[in-house]
């Protein structure tokens, strides 16, 4: 899709820049500013929603690199989040590590778990890989239950208050800022990783793995790199989630979450950084809508209507997007931008 | 020894039901190359349908079974027409996500209609009690075994001796050839979805008759995937053998190892360990054709 008329690139650096126009700079700066001042006027509930959106954005960026760019489908993302979350929870609660040291350790642990379960991807693809990652999800959760001595098993694990030096991150506002810093960093790194040599290799593998291998892209190395990077994001997100609720339990990492992360990618548009963010926001807002409408429906129809509404609405939205908008919200956004390319003139001369 | 044999016998009849469910999965996969994640949810719907027809409506078993099968057939047709037809020619991920979304919608419908409650209709299925030496064969599992065997036999007959069965086998072989001789591929797809949904519903009624219908019935679908991977994704016979193997292995492993493990629950994750091992060491399964990629 083209840029707005009147934007000219005079050298390679301009052509490759992340922000290509002043407008993009301004919009991004305004967005970051808006994120900064959000706690001033939003309620507690609003902050909670924004924080969970931030955590999900980090996780979905990882899944986007793994599935959207490298084409390795994973339905075990929530399991990898659990590895990251539990690792940092154990380090903090049992060994007394500070929060800032435990979080990267959790992320790396999730990355290593990703490498381990990514190994089958060297031999299999498509549906078989999906099954392997589903298996990963259940095996990880089972191990967490089995290792009762250090993880607390099904009872869960209390995590101490996260501290960042002298600052306690216990208040909602403080934690909101922390998550948003991570989310912005994750967005920047995710957007740049796919512009590097490794990122181009990922795209080559996704589009045609045989051709990529013939051209000298090492499938072995780059598929595992994609798993490692994607799961590091998951680990960081899981660790942030655990420290947010200050309690680690397996209920925070259900199998269905893995499915919804993939659903977010589909709704937002795969293989695009902005698409990942769009998808998370769309599905999280749908979640909120369901929590508002659910009780009303439960009172009007039947007590179980609220639970079924959540399942049916999520399933239906994915079905609708797959049939009518398979390229996701991001594609729609590009089309809107394209419409305004020559605005206010209505027609565009075909070249 | 008696304990071991008991586990083997229970595992065998349970495995036969897994095989029945797995066959539904394999049929869709062979005919239309769609991986139906929602197969377990057909089982779930089946379990609740069995309860609905047997308990609140009070139909006798010979009327309840055809009614459930008819409902399942309509469900299969609708699903194929509304959800899977637009997905023809789409990438693997889109199709798989579609069946996952279908599974959540079916789960949501089951929650809405039956309240996600435990519904027991224990003892309403006909029972045959048998004892061989000191091993008692549970009557429900014997019924399950008989029904599964009959279903598999009917399916085998359909595939071998009827025109639509031939069309389905041909579609599995080569779609272009089938279209050029004038067989409607979409009809074949519709029939395969009907068979899968009917088979799933029958499996659901059998399992529901043994342990009651609840939301956990859907997890059987995950076991069916392990069965399919072990047997080889394109082999109906493989699904049967693998189903029996997995049913026995699962029971024996759970029977001997569960007391040793603090958390227990090995039977739930056992299929996933099998899955990973199969995927790493023998991706085409025991009886599947090795897929060789040529450039």
**Per-residue pLDDT tens for B34-44?**
888 899 999 99
Beta-bridge partners for B137: B130
A23 reaches B (C-beta below 8 A): no
B206 reaches A (C-beta below 8 A): no
Q: Which pLDDT value is given to residue B125?
A: 66
CA distance A90 to A99: 11
Whether the Cβ atoms of residue A268 and residue A275 lie closer than 8 Å to each other:
yes
Whether the Cβ atoms of residue B219 and residue B40 lie closer than 8 Å to each other:
yes
3-state secondary structure at position A8 = coil
Contact A132 B276 (CB under 8 A): yes
Q: No. of H helices and E strands in chain A?
A: 15, 4
- Of the candidates B90, B265, B283, which has its C-beta nearest A142's C-beta? B265
Q: Which candidate in B269, B277, B283, B292 is best for mutational testing of the A interface (most A CBs within 10 A)?
A: B269
pLDDT of residue B295 exceeding 60: no
Tell me, rounded to whole angstroms, the distance of Cα A77 from its chain centroid: 9
Q: How many CB atoms lie within 10 A of CB A245?
A: 12
Contact A319 B229 (CB under 8 A): no
Give the count of Cβ contacts less than 8 A between chain A and B: 134
Whether the Cβ atoms of residue A117 and residue B264 lie closer than 8 Å to each other:
no
By CA distance, what is B225's nearest residue in A? A131
Contact B101 A318 (CB under 8 A): yes
CA distance B141 to B135: 13
Q: Which pLDDT value is given to residue A258?
A: 93
Using CB atoms within 10 A of its CB, is residue B58 exposed (0-12), middle (13-18) or buried (19+)? exposed
By CA distance, what is B102's nearest residue in A? A315
A123 reaches B (C-beta below 8 A): yes
By CA distance, what is B285's nearest residue in A? A128
Question: Which of A30, A27, A33 lies closest to A333 in space, CA to CA?
Answer: A27
Q: Which pLDDT value is given to residue A351?
A: 46
Tell me, rounded to whole angstroms, the distance of Cα A68 from its chain centroid: 11
pLDDT tens for B59-81 read: 888 888 899 999 999 999 999 99
Residue A205 φ/ψ region, left for φ over 0, alpha for ψ in the -120 to 50 degree band, beta for the rest: alpha
Q: Within 13 Å, how many C-alpha atoms sit on residue A250's CB side? A: 19
Interface of A with B in 324-343 (CB under 8 A): 326
CA distance A273 to A328: 12
Q: Which pLDDT value is given to residue B128?
A: 66
B112 reaches A (C-beta below 8 A): yes
CA distance B237 to B244: 11
Contact B105 A262 (CB under 8 A): no
Contact B97 A316 (CB under 8 A): no
Q: Which pLDDT value is given to residue B293?
A: 59
Among A98-112, A284-298, B126-140, B243-257, the least confident range: B126-140
B259 reaches A (C-beta below 8 A): no
3-state secondary structure at position B59 = coil
Q: Which pLDDT value is given to residue B103?
A: 92
B116 reaches A (C-beta below 8 A): yes
Whether the Cβ atoms of residue A127 and residue A194 lie closer than 8 Å to each other:
no
From chain B, the residues in CB contact with A126 under 8 A are: 92
A122 reaches B (C-beta below 8 A): no
pLDDT tens for A226-277 read: 999 999 999 999 999 999 988 888 889 998 899 999 999 999 998 889 999 9
Name the residue ranges covered by the structural domains of chain B.
Answer: 2-219
Contact B94 A305 (CB under 8 A): no
Q: Which candidate in A76, A302, A311 is best for mutational testing of the B interface (most B CBs within 10 A)?
A: A311
Q: Which candidate in B44, B85, B90, B93 is best for mutational testing of the A interface (most A CBs within 10 A)?
A: B93
pLDDT tens for B88-118 read: 888 888 888 899 999 999 999 998 888 878 8
Whether the Cβ atoms of residue A253 and residue A238 lie closer than 8 Å to each other:
yes
B130 or B105, which is more confident? Answer: B105
- Per-residue pLDDT tens, chain A, 351 aa: give them: 467 777 788 888 888 888 888 888 999 999 999 999 988 888 888 899 999 999 999 999 999 999 999 999 999 999 999 999 999 999 998 888 888 899 999 999 999 999 999 988 888 878 888 888 989 999 999 889 888 888 887 888 888 888 777 777 778 888 999 999 999 999 999 999 999 999 999 999 999 988 999 999 999 899 999 999 999 999 999 999 999 988 888 889 998 899 999 999 999 998 889 999 999 999 999 999 998 888 888 888 777 788 888 889 999 999 999 999 888 999 999 888 888 777 777 665 554
Name the residue ranges covered by the structural domains of chain A.
Answer: 45-255
Q: Which pLDDT value is given to residue A309?
A: 87
Pairing assessment for the beta strands A157-158 and A247-248 based on DSSP bridges: antiparallel
Question: Which of A9, A124, A151, A45 lies closest to B279 in space, CA to CA?
Answer: A124
């Amino acid at each position: 899709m083209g840029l707005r008329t009147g934007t000219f690139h005079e050298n390679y650096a301009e052509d490759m820049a992340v922000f290509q126009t002043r407008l993009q700079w301004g919009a991004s700066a305004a967005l970051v500013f808006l994120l900064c001042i959000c706690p001033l006027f939003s309620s507690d509930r609003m902050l909670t929603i924004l924080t969970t959106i931030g955590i999900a954005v980090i996780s979905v960026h990882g899944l986007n690199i793994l599935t959207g760019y490298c084409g390795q489908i994973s339905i075990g993302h929530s399991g990898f989040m659990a590895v990251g979350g539990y690792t940092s929870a154990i380090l903090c609660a049992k060994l007394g590590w500070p929060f800032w040291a435990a979080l990267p350790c959790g992320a790396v642990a999730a990355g290593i778990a990703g490498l381990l379960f990514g190994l089958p991807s060297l031999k299999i693809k498509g549906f078989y890989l999906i099954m392997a990652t589903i298996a990963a999800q259940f095996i990880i959760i089972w191990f967490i239950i089995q290792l009762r001595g250090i993880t607390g098993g099904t009872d869960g694990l209390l995590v101490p208050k996260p501290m960042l030096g002298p600052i306690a991150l216990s208040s909602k506002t403080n934690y909101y800022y922390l998550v948003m810093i991570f989310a912005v960093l994750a967005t920047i790194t995710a957007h740049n990783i796919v512009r590097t040599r490794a990122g181009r290799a990922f795209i080559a593998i996704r589009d045609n793995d045989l051709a990529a291998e013939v051209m000298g892209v090492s499938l072995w190395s780059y598929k595992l790199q994609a798993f490692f990077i994607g799961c590091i994001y998951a680990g960081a997100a899981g660790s942030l989630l655990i420290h947010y609720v200050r309690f680690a339990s397996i209920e925070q990492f259900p199998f269905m979450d893995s499915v919804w992360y993939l659903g977010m990618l589909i709704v937002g548009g795969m293989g695009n950084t902005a698409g990942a963010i769009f998808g998370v926001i769309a599905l999280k807002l749908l979640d909120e809508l369901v929590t508002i409408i659910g009780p009303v429906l439960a009172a009007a129809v039947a007590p179980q209507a609220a639970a079924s509404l959540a399942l049916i609405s999520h399933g239906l939205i994915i079905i609708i997007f797959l049939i009518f908008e398979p390229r996701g919200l991001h594609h729609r956004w590009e089309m809107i931008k394209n419409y305004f390319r020559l605005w206010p003139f209505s027609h565009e001369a075909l070249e | 020894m008696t304990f071991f044999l008991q586990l083997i016998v229970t595992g065998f009849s349970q495995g036969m039901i897994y095989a029945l469910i797995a066959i539904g999965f394999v049929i869709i996969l062979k005919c239309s190359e769609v991986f139906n994640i929602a197969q377990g949810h057909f089982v779930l719907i089946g379990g609740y349908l069995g309860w609905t027809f047997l308990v609140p409506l009070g139909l006798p078993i010979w009327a309840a079974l055809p009614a459930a099968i008819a409902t399942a057939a309509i469900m299969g047709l609708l699903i194929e027409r509304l959800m899977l037809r637009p997905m023809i020619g789409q990438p693997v991920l889109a199709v798989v996500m579609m069946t996952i979304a279908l599974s959540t919608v079916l789960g949501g419908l089951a929650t809405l209609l039956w309240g996600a409650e435990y519904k027991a209709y224990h003892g309403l299925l006909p029972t045959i009690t048998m004892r061989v030496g000191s091993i008692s064969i549970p009557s429900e599992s014997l019924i399950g075994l008989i029904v599964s065997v009959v279903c598999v036999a009917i399916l085998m007959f359909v595939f071998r001796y009827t025109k639509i069965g031939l069309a389905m086998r041909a579609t599995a072989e080569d779609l272009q050839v089938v279209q050029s001789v004038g067989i409607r591929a979409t009809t074949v797809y519709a029939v395969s979805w009907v068979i899968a949904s009917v088979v799933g519903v029958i499996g659901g009624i059998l399992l529901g008759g043994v342990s009651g219908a609840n939301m956990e019935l859907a997890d059987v679908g995950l076991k069916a995937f392990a069965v399919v991977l072990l047997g080889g994704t394109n082999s109906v016979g493989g699904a049967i053998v693998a189903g029996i193997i997995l049913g026995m292995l699962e029971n024996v492993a759970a029977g001997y190892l569960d007391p040793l493990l603090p958390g227990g629950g090995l039977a739930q994750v056992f299929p996933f360990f099998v899955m990973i091992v199969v995927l790493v060491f023998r991706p085409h399964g025991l009886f599947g054709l090795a897929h060789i990629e040529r450039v």
